[in-house]
Amino acid sequence: MARPDGLRRVTTGQIDAVGPNHLLATECDQHANCGHVLITRDTGKPRSLDGKVDTTTWPRGEIAPDGSVAAVVRDDVGNRPILSIIDLTTGRERTLGVSVRGGFAQSGVVFSPDGEWLFAVATSGALVAIDTETFRVLTNPFRLPSLSQLTIRPAG
């Protein structure tokens, strides 16, 4: 992690999701038992989450502004990118069954500044809006033309 006082390693694992205040990483022990670790950006302090992690996929994702959930894009059995939500308190992951474009480089998954909505670009190019309280999925609620990327301007 780059800080004013220099560089500091905060994980030897794989970064799965990033957010304004946290990083979500997968770390494995010497026996290849892997789990999620939530790292606070300000301090670099890690907190292990319960549950094992599937290391056969390379998740790409975003963390909600309030740090409650992470939205990750994983490749399913057919190598289609599927959206999953990880509860950052319990470590529980649930797949939403929405086929979307990948995160990070493709900018296909973003949270609204208040964290109430998660937006994604479906593989068809349609906008997908997900209520982060109920995880109800709305496809193309604003009747936009085909999209390839999303970005959200920070609040304020």
25's tokens:
């990483």
Looking at the domain assignment, is residue 150 inside a domain?
Answer: no
| CATH number of the domain where residue 93 is located | 2.130.10.10
Residue 19, SS3 per DSSP: coil
The total domain count for the chain is 1
The residue among 57 and 46 whose pLDDT is bigger is 46
pTM beyond 0.85: the answer is no
- Model confidence band, residue 150 (pLDDT cutoffs 50, 70, 90): confident
Phi, psi of 104 (to 5 degrees): 50, -105
Query: Mean pLDDT score of the chain, rounded to an integer?
Result: 83
Looking at the domain assignment, is residue 155 inside a domain?
Answer: no
* Separation of alpha carbons 121 and 140, rounded Å: 9
Looking at the domain assignment, is residue 76 inside a domain?
Answer: yes
List, edge to edge, every strand of the sheet that includes 81-87. Answer: 46-48, 34-40, 22-28, 14-18, 60-63, 69-75, 81-87, 93-99
For residue 90, what are the domain limits? Answer: 2-139
| pLDDT at residue 53 in the model | 79
pLDDT of 29 strictly over 70: yes
- Model confidence band, residue 67 (pLDDT cutoffs 50, 70, 90): very high
pLDDT of 48 strictly over 90: yes
- Model confidence band, residue 57 (pLDDT cutoffs 50, 70, 90): low
Looking at the domain assignment, is residue 152 inside a domain?
Answer: no
Query: Tens digits of per-residue pLDDT, 76-112?
Result: 666 677 888 999 998 888 888 888 865 444 556 889 9
| pLDDT at residue 8 in the model | 80
